[in-house]
Amino acid sequence: MDENISRDEQHARGRLQAMARDRRSSLAELSRLIGRNPAYLQQYVTRGSPRHLDEPDLRKIAEFLGISTRVIETRRFDDSRMNSRSQRRAAFDDDWVDIPRLPLDASAGPGAVGAQEISYDQFRFTRRWLREMGLEGADLSAIRVEGDSMEPLLRSGDEIFVDRNKRSGEGVFVVRIGDALHVKQVRASAAGTIALISANDAYAPLELPREDVEVIGRVVWKGGRL
């Protein structure tokens, strides 16, 4: 890789590769998504060629992965392209983290069918706030709760942050069953099964084969109207 490429740029390339893997995609598939040859992003990640992705390509990849472009962009780390004003702006922006809002409902009820996971909006929080909340380094997405099965813990219309880096253990998780998303309490169960519990006693617990349930991530924060 070009010795002039900074460590931050290398890390941004590494994040692209890791997030593609986490979304069960490949660099070749993402290359085709942006109309490039299958080896394009592999060369970008491993050889630093091209030095930076074109802005339209960057946006399309970020939308597909459901993340902010800032997570994987490299241009802001290229000192040769930055004057003192842009450096100050980059330093300011680095104090903030954008959390994508996805057009999905996690059903606290019968089950919401997931739409395409492309961000349509974002929340912005300071790195200090995320650190204080114990969320520094989390892979966060925001989605909306629908239904009443998790009341009073979660109410219909609440926004929740889901950390995709946390997919094991007990707690409140977003899970996919078939094409439907649910938000449920996950508890230990018999070997090979998973127990999904509603906070609302009006809903009976579910116990399903483990292979029928895809754990998307742990719910780590909630917000909503009073």
Let me know: does 188 contact 170? Beta carbons within 8 Å.
Answer: yes
User: Which one is the CATH code of 96-223: 1.20.1630.10, 2.10.109.10, 3.40.50.2000, 2.130.10.30?
Assistant: 2.10.109.10
Pairing, β 96-107 against β 121-126: antiparallel
Please tell me whether residue 147 adopts helix, strand or coil conformation. coil
Range list for CATH 1.10.260.40 in the chain: 7-93
Range list for CATH 2.10.109.10 in the chain: 96-223
The Cα–Cα gap between 181 and 104 comes to: 8
Answer whether CATH 1.10.260.40 is correct for domain 7-93: yes
Q: Find how far residue 54's CA is from the centre of its chain.
A: 22
Pairing, β 140-146 against β 96-107: parallel
pLDDT in tens, 176-188: 988 888 999 998 8
The token pair that represents 137 in the structure block: 């380094």
| Per-residue pLDDT tens listing for the chain (226 residues) | 555 667 788 888 888 988 888 888 899 999 999 999 999 999 999 888 888 899 889 989 988 888 888 888 888 776 555 455 555 555 555 678 889 888 767 655 544 444 455 667 888 898 889 989 999 888 999 999 988 999 999 999 999 999 999 998 999 999 998 888 899 999 888 888 999 999 999 999 999 999 999 999 999 999 988 7
Q: Count Cα neighbours of 15 within 13 Å in the Cβ-side half-sphere.
A: 20
The token pair that represents 153 in the structure block: 């813990």
Give kind and range of the element (H or E) at residue 65. Answer: helix 55-65
The Cα–Cα gap between 21 and 136 comes to: 21
Helical pair 55-65 and 7-22, crossing angle rounded to 10 deg: 40
